[in-house]
Amino acid sequence: MNTSLKTIACALVVSFSTQSSATPTTFVHLFEWNWQDIATECETYLGPKGYAAVQVSPPNEHITANQWWARYQPVSYVLQSRGGNRAQFIDMVQRCDSAGVDIYVDAVINHMAAGSGNGTAGSSFGAKQYPIFSPQDFHTTCTINNYSDRGQVQNCELVGLADLDTDAPYVQDTIAAYLSDLTNIGVKGFRLDAAKHMPSADISSILSKVSGTPLIFQEVIDQGGEAVSASEYASNGLVTEFKYSVEIGNTFRNGKLAWLSNFGEGWGFMPSYQAVVFVDNHDNQRGHGGGGNVITFEDGRLYDLANVFMLAYPYGYPKVMSSFDFHSDSDAGAPNVSVHNNGNLECFGQNWKCEHRWSYIAGAVDFRNNTNDDFSLSDWWDNGANQIAFGRSSSGFVAINKESYQLSASVPTSMAPGQYCNVLKGQLAGDAQSCSGDVITVQNDGTINLNVLPFDAIAIHHNGKITDSAPTQNRQRTVIFIKAQTQNGQDMFVRGGIDHAYASSQLGKACTAENYQCAIPITHNNLRNTTTAVWKQSEQYLDWYGAESAQNATSEGTAMDWTTNLWPASYGQLKTVVNDGFGQEVLNEWGEHYWMLDVQMDCSKTVNGWFELKAYVKNGQGFESDVQQTGTPYPSSNHFAQCGKINQFDFNSSTAYIEPF
């Protein structure tokens, strides 16, 4: 194998502008996942969601220890590790390939294990004696204590690990045979661990003997001021750009997002086509491997926003991290429970974090996949501080708000006029006529009237455009919260619209003859709650009449979803509206038991923006009592809400709180 970086990287980057939209552009590191879990994840999530590849943990025999770093102390190149055996590894590679997902192996070829003992395949080792290497295959024992000394960095022992003489023909042949075994199985790429500790020429010689043309990316921690630089390795393959992780961390934590308009080469990074980039990786999230002001899963929404930027901004080949919770123990090994645990997904809680499944990150991957054709920056806007927006020409547009107040601005774009699905919070329906999340409107002049909440973001792309067969007139996101503490087995619905008598006397509508004259067209933004989705499907109106003809007959009107502002630990695994359709919700400012309706509503069918509603508890009280709300457009015994706003009411109460997004 003698494929240069430029051949590999140009193949990747050229695809951004020449191949069809939705070409996978991002890979994920499923850190310490076993082979069976990875195979299942490829089939059920990564393939359908458009991830290009998975970086897997080292698959070869390693020392028997619980710490994560045991995988980085090789004993032999036998495919028997904590991740599984050879047959399971082959099964994973084949199943992922069938799902359209490549496998990249983390290859530890600079060194062998320290000390002595037995490996995970039963092999014994010690005193630089291993099943495949003997003492003459290693450099003389010495310690790295000066990174300005190239000889030490590349010929001495990294943290006491036996340093292979990668210049020796036998060592090169043995390593190349291991990598070729993997490519023959179907592995499509390699991360070369600790590459800076091997001369670039040695790596080149090894790769020239490897079967096939796998993608190569080399771990070279280069933040300047050392003897070995990342640029030396560019002829071998892609190179990890650690400065990217450090600077994105510094900027999102302590700087101004407005600085990022020329992020990449303009900040002294390597050329985009050479770089593998990430917000964090398995080393620096633990304070190892270059460290720095790194943002990780522990930073919550800040981590979301940093990943949205990385995936939306046209620079490098991005890697998404998928971690486990190490509970501040930087040596801790992986959880002792499988990710796919007998049908239960062990994600998002105290075990596996599964960041690649987070709505904002998965949605941003979708954005990047669908903006391949315009791998360039356009329409940059910022407020001089921490609100930014930018485009990918006519292919997509993104806005990020890291301020403590709402982003409200009219900004130019190069997008075609129309309504688009915010892919960070929802998905376009199969018929392209609705979105399960926020809908963003591009005006006829190409501008967007942005309304982005604090620490939030939006992303739209040309393949997420809504093409409703019936034009939507002035549809706006409308949210209703009703506080009611219900019992198990009870669900909340609302009915509403315009009063028949008022419509007849003031609007000239005969709603008794054509009852939908007083109904209001809606499209649900939240179909993620499996309990309520069956009632929402095929519903077209907020109306006074219960189930519509195409709606599930057990529906009592328009279904709502239970929410809280903070998920109590006593409730078990975190549930969120973004991921699960119910649970913790950012718009809920008040507390538990606030039932939520989130829809796109046709405001042109309301009374100057106002409409009525009344709550109904299924398997409970039924309709709430009459109320007497003040400040309404006409007298009524129902609640009045405003289209295009957030409306909060209490069950059986006349109080009302209405605010803009």
Residues designated as active site? 193, 219
Beta bridge partners of 340: 345
Overall residue count recorded for the chain in this entry: 661
In sequence order, what are the beta bridge partners of 561?
596
Q: Which two tokens stand for residue 595?
A: 């039932």
Q: Tokens at residue 636, please?
A: 């009524």
Question: CA separation (Å) from 136 to 141, 162, 234, 257?
Answer: 12, 11, 30, 53
Rounded (10°) angle between helices 301-312 and 359-369:
0
Q: State how far the alpha carbon of 661 is from the alpha carbons of 355, 507, 647, in Å.
A: 27, 29, 10
Torsions phi, psi for 597 (to 5 deg):
-115, 125
Query: What is the bridge-based pairing of β-strands 456-461 and 396-401?
Result: antiparallel
Q: Tell me the Cα Rg of the chain.
A: 28
Burial 482-506 (b: 16+ CB within 10 A, else e): bbbebeeeebbbbbbbbbbebbbee
Angle at which helices 169-185 and 86-98 pack, to 10 degrees?
A: 50
CA angle, 20 then 466 then 306, to 5°: 65
Please state, in angstroms and rounded to a whole number, the distance separating the CA atoms of residues 254 and 292: 13
Name the β-bridge partners of 544. none
CA distance 227 to 475: 60
Angle at 633 between CA 629 and CA 637, to 5 degrees: 40
One-character DSSP codes across 354-422:
-GGGSHHHHHHHHHHHTTGGG-S-EEEEE-SSSEEEEEBTBSEEEEEE-SSS-EEEEEE-SSPSEEEE-
610: nearest Cα among 582, 634, 581: 634
Tokens of 203: 């790596």
